[in-house]
Amino acid sequence: MGRIVCKFGGSSLAGVEEFRRVKEIVEKDPQRTIVVVSAPGKSPEEPFKVTDMLLMCAQLASAGFRFDEIFEQIAERFKMLCKELDLSLDINTLLQEVYDHIVSGENSASCASRGEYLCAKVMSDYLGWPFVDAADLFVFSSEGEINEEESLRRINKRLTTMERAVVPGFCGALSDGRLTTFHRGGSDITGSFLAVGTKADLYENWTDVPGLLMADPKIVENPMPMRHMTYPELRELSYMGAKVLQEDAVFPLARAGIPLQIRSTLLPDNPGTLIAENGVQSGIVTGIAVKKDFRVFTLEKTKMREDRGFLRKLLSVFESNKVTVEGTPSGIDSVSVIVSEEQISGKLDKILEEIRMYCHPQRLTTQPGLALVVVVGRGMIRTKGVAAKLFTSLAQADINIRMISQGSSELSILVGVENEDANRAVAALYQTFKGE
Ligand code: ASP
């Protein structure tokens, strides 16, 4: 029998109804043997995330203020879960431990991690499965970096011999034993490591959306879901802003070749999106994403190509100013550098001056307001006429293209358009490629 690691996000654990739904899902497939939980999140009935409330408690405690009122709300939520789910768990003692932990002046990450801890205790009792503390599995360096090798070793040693386990997400321990956490939303990473460490057949990430959509629903009405995709496709789309889970959770899975399925607890029969090394090809284009607010620097210089080291000198200017370069489309005697506007803030004049000083361009211009639209699909490699369709679609929508770039893996085509045209560009491209 295969093994499925399933992680449930905070909104899927917000209250009693949500817990019931999770139990039903878990028990429906006997392969689901490791459950990872976030802390209870928001729902229409619950306006606050437990993690946020714990952080507030820690902040108040560290400033010497009382935090009892907020803590009482957290306590009520867990007590209510135990009562309604008819559990025998001694939640009062656990809550007291967490309260004392905060009073003792522990750092805020350590306090925040207790939401997942309590939630996993409740889930473990509810499912009747053993609880395994993430602090015994996840090891962080004193700089707060996860020690992947050691963590995977511990996970493998501890969990592969167990039939079932419930593990709190988000949390781990420093080498001196103090508790710490991944960054916010980090339970996704916990689940991913558990899948890799136990060599699972599948990692299911259960959330409140049924997978990824072909385009942003804020731009396109009711976009089609993406049923299958590959890890490189997911990387391209999430880099451009189409996010549904933490990127750091994806790399370990991709490396280990473990498929990832994103599903919704609200629609448990919906298959969601399956991301695998060699996913089934759904269409020519898998998805379309957009990122706005880039700035383009354009340099013109005769015989630029013969000037050895020209690009290095140009890129060094950005590097020394700590600016990440998004791309460098080039012509024969011209080159452009694309960077996000945010990174340039407060540095524009200095960068222009340094480019003039080190690169001696004949002409140097810079223009803000560029949006990058990416069309991603591994089917594009084998299909003629995709680019023609793409450009025709934009021309028909009366959109001017300021820049074009095709990724060398031919997995994506990137076009630069004016910020104001970006949403229309996505909508036009979606209409052209949906269902193809
Ligand atoms: N509970 C944590 C957060 O709100 C971690 C997580 O849910 O993944 O960020």
Domains and CATH numbers, the chain: 4-208 (3.40.1160.10), 287-433 (3.30.2130.10)
> For ligand 1, atom 2, which residue shows the shortest CA distance?
185
- Residue 39 CA: which ligand 1 atom is closest? 1
User: Cα of 183 to ligand 1 centre, how many Å?
Assistant: 8
Neighbours of 157 (CB within 10 A): 11
For position 281, what pLDDT does the model report? 63
pLDDT tens per residue across span 110-153:
999 999 999 999 999 999 999 999 999 999 998 889 999 999 99
For position 282, what pLDDT does the model report? 63
3-state SS, 304-364, equals HHHCCCHHHHHHHHHHHCCCCEEECCECCCEEEEEEEHHHHCCCHHHHHHHHHHHHCCCEE
Q: Contact at 8 Å (CB) between 192 and 203?
A: yes
Return the beta strands (E) in 137-267 as ranges.
139-140, 165-168, 171-174, 179-181, 202-207, 228-230, 260-264
- Residue 182 CA: which ligand 1 atom is closest? 5
Place of tokens 């919704």: 264
Residue 280's alpha-carbon distances to 3, 110, 265, 286, 350, in angstroms, are 22, 42, 24, 11, 49
The number of residues making up the chain comes to: 436
Q: Mean per-residue pLDDT for 270-296?
A: 87
Place of tokens 């000037």: 307
**To test the ligand 1 pocket, which listed residue (108, 170, 193, 206) has its Cβ within 8 A of the most ligand atoms?**
170
> For ligand 1, atom 6, which residue shows the shortest CA distance?
185
- Residue 190 CA: which ligand 1 atom is closest? 8
C-alpha torsion sign, points 38, 170, 241, 288 = negative
pLDDT tens per residue across span 380-421:
877 889 889 999 999 999 999 998 887 767 789 999 999 999
Q: Mean per-residue pLDDT for 231-252?
A: 84
Structure tokens at 370: 């560029």
Place of tokens 């003629």: 384
Least confident of 236-250, 292-306, 359-373, 422-436: 236-250
Residue 260 Cα to chain centre, angstroms: 13
Q: Is 178 exposed, middle or buried (0-12, 13-18, 19+ CB in 10 A)?
A: middle
**To test the ligand 1 pocket, which listed residue (38, 113, 123) has its Cβ within 8 A of the most ligand atoms?**
38
Residues with CB under 6 A from ligand 1: 10, 38-39, 49, 51, 115, 169-170, 184-187
- Residue 187 CA: which ligand 1 atom is closest? 8
Under the phi-then-psi rule, with left for phi > 0, alpha for psi from -120 to 50, and beta for the rest, what region is 314? alpha
Q: Between these two residues, 227 and 240, which has the higher pLDDT value?
A: 227
- Residue 38 CA: which ligand 1 atom is closest? 7
User: Cα of 116 to ligand 1 centre, how many Å?
Assistant: 8
User: Cα of 349 to ligand 1 centre, how many Å?
Assistant: 40
Structure tokens at 386: 């995709």
Residue 110 Cα to chain centre, angstroms: 22
For residue 252, pLDDT beyond 80: yes
Quote the CA–CA distance of 26 and 45 in Å, as a whole number: 24
User: Cα of 186 to ligand 1 centre, how many Å?
Assistant: 6
What is the longest distance spanned by two Cα atoms in the chain?
79
User: Cα of 185 to ligand 1 centre, how many Å?
Assistant: 4
- Residue 52 CA: which ligand 1 atom is closest? 4
For residue 50, pLDDT beyond 70: yes
> Please, what is the Cα angle at 113 between 47 and 89, to 5 degrees?
80
> For ligand 1, atom 8, which residue shows the shortest CA distance?
185
Quote the CA–CA distance of 286 and 434 in Å, as a whole number: 9
pLDDT tens per residue across span 161-218:
999 999 999 999 998 899 999 999 999 999 999 999 999 999 999 998 888 999 998 9
pTM, full prediction: 0.89
User: Cα of 39 to ligand 1 centre, how many Å?
Assistant: 6
Structure tokens at 338: 């694309």
Residue 257's alpha-carbon distances to 159, 197, 249, 413, in angstroms, are 19, 12, 13, 25
User: Cα of 38 to ligand 1 centre, how many Å?
Assistant: 6
Quote the CA–CA distance of 318 and 351 in Å, as a whole number: 7
Q: Contact at 8 Å (CB) between 261 and 205?
A: yes
User: Cα of 55 to ligand 1 centre, how many Å?
Assistant: 11
> For ligand 1, atom 5, which residue shows the shortest CA distance?
185
For residue 334, pLDDT beyond 90: yes
Percent of the chain with pLDDT strictly greater than 90: 81
For residue 279, pLDDT beyond 70: no
Type of residue at 367: Q
Place of tokens 């917000």: 14
Quote the CA–CA distance of 74 and 88 in Å, as a whole number: 19
Average pLDDT along the chain: 94
